[in-house]
Chains A and B, each alone.
Chain A
Amino acid sequence: MSAPLVLLPSDEVPQDHLPTNSSNPLRLGPGLRILSQPSSKGTNHVLTATQAGLLTTDAKRNTVSILSFPNRRYIPTVNDFVIAQIHHSSVDFFHCMVTPHTAHALLGQLSFEGASKKTRPMLKQGELVYARVQSVGVGAGAEVELTCVNPATGKADGGLGPLTGGMVFDVSTGMAARLIRASSSSAENTDAIEGLVVLSELGKKLESLGGFEIAVGRNGKVWVDCSNAAESAVKVTIAIGRCLQETDQQNLHPHDQKKLVTKILRDMKLVS
């Protein structure tokens, strides 16, 4: 593994940092673009950065991308999971808010599992859905479309659909991406994947209270529900939200994350 490389806009990606896997074509992630420079012997292609951040490569999937600052705004990308809030509904669509100050995303009235004209969820203003970005359109000012089913199977894979109960917390988009990576990576080293131990620690400590359920949206939202905890459900929800937000804002190390969990649970009188 070569030394970490930080690129600024207009910096070129050095050849020796690119993955050497030649079986499938190199894929560019966000923050990079390819420029062609005509020269004496044909055209030269160089990869340059358009955003500042850490250069990361994945040798297995043959990708190269830039990890940029975690506080950035979420830009919808096809197949991302997001938590959207219903703003209003019209004849064919629910108009949902994904990020503040942007146009509403559209969610079809019938794009839920098993929905038909007669049986479909009647969502009201302010309710939450866990949805997948279906299309972002082509060209300027195109609308973002969401869906709550997998169009191939007609099933709600991965917990898609309306989120009932619980509470939603805002985190940075970088933290949301980190939570998703941590949960999707293989379970061989469960502690400290992506430097995150806060969730496994909370899971251990709150097992006696009935555990909890979370959903992470790429747009920087985390939905937390622990309806099993009976009378302390509200307290547990808020404790989990606070742990996640403080880990994010203070950029805590795994060691400090464990301390934070213990401190917050004691403050809220959940675990003695």
Chain B
Amino acid sequence: MFGPIASLSQLNRADGSASYKCPATGYSILGAVNAPIELPARRDALKPEEATVEVFVKPGTTTAGVGERYVEGILRSVLGKIVLGREKGFPRRGVVITLAIVGGENVERGDSYLTILPALLHAALLAMISASVPLSMTFSATLLGVTKSGDIVRDPSPTAAKAAVSLHVFAFSSKNHLLLNESEGRFEFDTWELVRERALSICQGVISSDGDVTMDEGTTSASLNGFIRETVEDQVYSDYAYKLDSI
């Protein structure tokens, strides 16, 4: 199975940007972040001592509708929790995240928006890291579908997702905390527990029986948190090549 492909700081004029492509579902997202900027008419925000996180999702072919509003709400609540909005320069300002869906199948009106949620989450996180927005932690997210026969499928394609009995999106922080759980369809608690364990192993790498994360080369690069780390490290090494060459 091919892993996702991502790169950072592709746009010149945004403060931070990232592109993210998930080959399994076919979605490709371009994310841009501007922070901290002045939001018009937000001087008396509900929480004046914190930054306001704004998320905009732009579909490739149409204007944003109800589905985009729904997913924007989910993204805003997850990302708003990990942004440290009280750092210098951030209170009363805005962190504006724009995510454009530049590739993959259209999400039709009435289709489940969960299929694209992990790609949006990863693109938003990488773009915020690239804009140096202070964060309390990083995370990674995965989509799992449960088929009629009870199999758990990782990253089902949009057609497979339509046929699935239930769909689940999980996000785990870099410290193994469950950050987000969105589930759709009919499922029992035992199924959910199995799916959660599978999602944790995808995000964190394989966990052996004694509770330690096995650290050999194959599993760390296969885990999604490891993937986020590698993407960021690659960008730092290329940006600071002039500094690292001299060491």
Contacts and interface: CB of A to CB of B under 8 A. Distances in A.
Interface of A: 1, 4, 6, 8-11, 31, 33, 50-54, 67-73, 75-77, 101-103, 136, 139-141, 174, 192, 194-196, 249, 251, 253-254
A77 B88 CA distance: 9
B243 A10 contact: no
A10 to B, nearest CB: 4
B215 to A, nearest CB: 15
Nearest to A249: B12
Contacts of A10: 135-138, 173-175
B60 to A, nearest CB: 25
Contacts of A50: 84, 87, 134-136
Given A1-B247, A10-B175, A69-B8, A251 B238 contact: yes
B87 A71 contact: no
Nearest to B88: A75
8 contacts: A8-B174, A50-B136, A51-B129, A52-B232, A69-B236, A101-B37, A251-B242, A253-B245
Nearest to A10: B137
Contact of B16 (A11, A67, A71, A192): A71
Contact of B232 (A6, A174, A249): A6
A9 B135 contact: yes
B68 interface: no
A51 B15 contact: no
B92 interface: yes
Given A50-B84, A71-B9, A73-B35, A6 B236 contact: yes
Nearest to B47: A140
A76 B129 contact: no
A254 B49 CA distance: 45
Interface in B129-161: 129-138
Contact of A101 (B34, B133, B241): B34
Interface of B: 8-9, 12, 14-16, 34-38, 43, 48-49, 82, 84, 87-89, 91-93, 129-138, 173-175, 228-229, 232-233, 235-247
A196 B243 CA distance: 10
A163 B35 CA distance: 28
A103 B39 CA distance: 10
A67 B240 contact: yes
Nearest to B51: A140
A8 B36 contact: no
Contacts of A4: 237, 240, 244, 247
B36 A102 contact: yes
B239 A251 contact: yes
B37 A51 contact: no
Nearest to A248: B12
A54 B175 CA distance: 21
Contacts of A251: 238-239, 241-242
A49 to B, nearest CB: 9
B242 A253 contact: yes
Given A69-B235, A69-B239, 4 more contacts: A6-B236, A31-B132, A51-B135, A101-B34
A192 B246 CA distance: 10
B91 A141 contact: yes
**The 5 nearest A-B residue pairs measured at CB:** A195-B242, A140-B91, A9-B135, A75-B89, A50-B134
B41 to A, nearest CB: 13
Most chain A beta-carbon contacts within 10 A, residue among B89, B91, B245: B89
Contacts of A141: 43, 48, 91-92
B15 A72 contact: yes
